[in-house]
Amino acid sequence: MSLWSTLLGTYGTIEAASGEVVENEDSSLNTKKMLSPLFHIPLKTRLHVIIDSRGDLIGMEMDSKDVSVMIPCTEQSMGRSGKDPVPHPLCDQIAYLDSKFDTKKHMQYVELLDSWKGQDPKLNAIYTYVTTHSVIDDAAEKGLLQSNENEADGDEGKHEVIVQVDPKIGVRFSVHTLTDEPDEVWMDWNLQKRWIDHLIQGKTPCGSDSLGEPFFQSASNFPKNIVGAAGNAKLISSNDKSNFTYRGRFQSAQEAIRIDSNTSQKVHAALKWLIGNNGRTVDKQTVVVWAVEDNPTRVVQPSANTYDILHQYDVLDKSDQPNHVEEAKTAVDTNYAKQFHRIVRGFAAGRKLSEHSKTVVVAIFDAATTGRLSVTYYVELAQDEYLESVASWHEEASWPLTYFEKKEQQGANEKIKTTVIPYIGAPSFLDITNCAYGPGEHTGAGYTSFRKNTEKQLIEAMFSNGVLPRPLAVSAFYHVLRPESYASLAAWRHDFEVACSIWKKTLNQHKPEKEQIPMALDTKRKDRDYLYGRLLAFADELESEILYKRGIDRPTSAVKLLTNFAARPYSTWNNICSQLAPYLQSVKSAQRFAYENSIDEVTDMFEDRQFEDNSALSPLFLLGYSSQRRALRNRFTKNNDSAVNSNEQGE
């Protein structure tokens, strides 16, 4: 299927939610997450005009910030631009509602409202008000607007009045009636239906359009504001009527694509709804993932880290496989892949995740220019194929990572408490981006552009070729070699973990399973770089343990000399050993013997004078360091637990 076909199918799935109210926490309307009824769009308003059923003014309110409401529109007004933009048929900007701004615009608005008001009491009340009142004068009288009117001579000696009020102030109406319908016209479902019926009444289909839908009238103007960050960008534009007309291929837009106006509305409404509910927007690029045949919004998000994905399962249904979820969150190295596969592959079979039906779409939209929205990536995947891609990514990039959970504490101070949660899995796309970009402020145009491009590359890697972009991996490697450039040791260790995840996937992606680097410590691996990483971990952990017992918070010599160690491991290792000597003398003989013996065992594993090789280390040493340090940490924790248990038994 094409993008248009999948969007049309998605609209059929979600059509029942058309016009359904979605509210923000402050009870205001969240139009971005609403499924727009056909021929309806959001409008940002500030001025609220309240009238009675006779069209007499009751009151006015000026909001301190924009209030977005869903309003009727025509095909021309929903994409209006240029020198002569047309009005909306009900609520609109003040320039259309008051003849003091532009008599022509006001007359167009009044005529459009008159064409569909019929005997509806609310529409007739609004019609009476806008034809007998000045919105500007009423607002100025109530102190809501400052209207400065200046006289000037116009063309051909005509006398003009120039009004100094922002013409783009949005105006919405409420009409007090004795009916059960809401006074707010933007909340009145009957008015929405009346407008749609008005547009399609009396029309008969003439065959089918390009998507197989009944063809009533060709769509000639296509919606904008699909992606909020690129408000004027359109997915389709047929404005090519001069010079090199339609690139010399067609005589009219209809020859290029024949889409019914209603079909266009459905497709664009579905896309805007998906972006509002499922989209991840960076700059002017939006990544959207959705299931076509069933509940489109509840899908495993590819950009999330493993912890968040497992948490999603927990939240969706705690009664189904809760033990598996908890086991996977705290899985040991050897059974992690099996646990994660068991959960993610249960996504299709389990009742709690039945929304992953037949097809999942991954699409990326980008507005490279002001008026055009392009599809830069599009793939349709079978349910199992999509889940296999996600599961494989999280297994191949799995590494011991840290999740920082922030919660606001209730109380007088209301401070934010950060909980550090260790887990095994893959980092999020954002963590990978930040690691590759390096420490410092993750803001500004340069960072935004980098993040946008990286996210697209990672999506392509996950679903198209499985290969991480090597420049990202190389950049991450060189950044974590400079711990001193980070704001804190914790920030460096976080990025170091992410870099290990990146390089585990990178180094393993072309190797047979027997030769792949495991997540757990591989005590039999004899790669020079891996062994040097293990040696560095012994030095780092010994000094770190002693500093902790002394209450000293500073980086170890191993961390301080990391940059030199990666460039010249042999000579730097001798330097680290000399600085480590006083710490070895300060510990008990049994512990000193254990460390010295472990270091000797690793040193003896070097082959063919590789230990004396002083050439720069590859990223493999990161994995050796991380795995060995984690093994030492686990042993230290177990020893402490055993000591505590012994003391408790003795008491």
Q: List the single range of 155-164, 177-186, 593-602 with lowest mean pLDDT.
A: 155-164
Which pLDDT score, from 0 to 100, does residue 50 have? 98
Q: Are 60 and 143 in contact (CB under 8 A)?
A: no
Last residue of a domain, one of 201, 219, 238: 201
Which pLDDT score, from 0 to 100, does residue 333 have? 46
**Amino acid in position 248:** G
Q: Where are the beta strands (DSSP E) in 191-284?
A: 280-282
* DSSP label of 282: E
Q: Is 586 domain-assigned?
A: yes
Which pLDDT score, from 0 to 100, does residue 252 have? 60
Confidence of residue 316 (pLDDT cuts 50, 70, 90): very low
CA atoms of 647 and 651, how far apart (whole Å): 6
Model confidence pLDDT, tens digit, residues 361-408? 999 999 877 778 899 999 999 878 888 898 899 999 999 998 888 776
Looking only at the bridges linking them, the beta strands covering 40-52 and 170-176 are parallel
Which pLDDT score, from 0 to 100, does residue 46 have? 96
Residue 73, CA distances (Å) to 86, 87, 295 in order = 10, 8, 28
How many domains are contained in the chain?
2
Contacts for 17 with CB less than 8 Å, ≥ 6 apart: 35
Token readout for 322 is: 């809760």
Residue 36: name the closest of 263, 197, 269 by CA.
Answer: 269
CA atoms of 42 and 68, how far apart (whole Å): 6
Return the number of other C-beta atoms located less than 10 Å from residue 103's C-beta. Answer: 10
**Could you tell me the sign of the dihedral formed by the alpha carbons of 609, 504, 554, 586, in that order?**
negative
Q: Is the pLDDT of residue 355 over 60?
A: no
Q: Is 394 domain-assigned?
A: no
Confidence of residue 147 (pLDDT cuts 50, 70, 90): low
Q: Are 542 and 595 in contact (CB under 8 A)?
A: yes
* Percent of the chain scoring above 90 in pLDDT: 52
Which pLDDT score, from 0 to 100, does residue 151 have? 53
Tell me the angle at which helices 620-650 and 489-508 cross, rounded to the nearest 10 degrees.
120
Q: Is 479 domain-assigned?
A: no
Residue 90, CA distances (Å) to 86, 163, 174 in order = 12, 23, 11
Contacts for 69 with CB less than 8 Å, ≥ 6 apart: 29, 31, 42, 43, 45, 91, 172, 184, 186
Q: Is 459 domain-assigned?
A: no
Q: Is 424 domain-assigned?
A: no
CA atoms of 530 and 512, how far apart (whole Å): 18
Q: Is the pLDDT of residue 168 over 60?
A: yes
* Percent of the chain scoring above 70 in pLDDT: 82
Q: Is the pLDDT of residue 150 over 60?
A: no
Q: List the single range of 182-191, 447-456, 480-489, 641-650 with lowest mean pLDDT.
A: 641-650
Model confidence pLDDT, tens digit, residues 231-263? 677 877 665 555 545 556 665 655 556 788 888
Model confidence pLDDT, tens digit, residues 523-562? 999 999 999 999 999 999 999 999 999 999 899 999 999 9
Which pLDDT score, from 0 to 100, does residue 352 have? 39
Q: Is the pLDDT of residue 413 over 80?
A: no
Which pLDDT score, from 0 to 100, does residue 331 have? 40
Confidence of residue 338 (pLDDT cuts 50, 70, 90): low
Number of H helices, E strands in the chain: 23, 12
For tokens 């924790």, what's the residue?
637
Q: List the single range of 136-150, 322-336, 393-407, 423-437 with lowest mean pLDDT.
A: 322-336
Q: What is the enclosing helix (H) or strand (E) of 439?
A: none
Q: How far is C-alpha 462 from the chain's CA centre?
A: 16
496 phi-psi bin (left φ>0, alpha ψ -120 to 50, beta other): alpha
Which pLDDT score, from 0 to 100, does residue 82 have? 73
More reliable by pLDDT, 421 or 383: 421
Q: How far is C-alpha 317 from the chain's CA centre?
A: 24
Q: Is 350 domain-assigned?
A: no
Q: Is 616 domain-assigned?
A: yes
Around 620, how many Cα atoms within 13 Å sit in the side-chain half-sphere?
17
- Alpha helices, DSSP H, located in 23-134: 75-78, 94-97, 103-117, 121-132
Which pLDDT score, from 0 to 100, does residue 641 have? 46
Read off φ and ψ for residue 427, nearest 5 degrees.
Answer: -75, 165
Last residue of a domain, one of 201, 226, 251: 201
**Summary mean pLDDT of the chain:** 84
Q: What is the enclosing helix (H) or strand (E) of 501?
A: helix 489-508
Q: Which domain holds residue 79?
A: 36-201
Which pLDDT score, from 0 to 100, does residue 230 have? 59
Residue 305, CA distances (Å) to 260, 331, 395, 440, 505 in order = 42, 16, 12, 22, 15
Model confidence pLDDT, tens digit, residues 54-112? 999 999 999 999 999 999 999 889 878 777 899 999 999 999 999 988 899 999 999 99
CA atoms of 211 and 77, how far apart (whole Å): 24
For tokens 């200046």, what's the residue?
150
Q: Is the pLDDT of residue 149 over 70?
A: no
Give pTM, 2 decimals. 0.84
Q: Is 110 domain-assigned?
A: yes
Q: Are 420 and 428 in contact (CB under 8 A)?
A: no
3-class secondary-structure state, position 429:
helix
Which pLDDT score, from 0 to 100, does residue 67 have? 94
Which pLDDT score, from 0 to 100, does residue 321 have? 43
Token readout for 535 is: 């040696």
Last residue of a domain, one of 201, 221, 254: 201
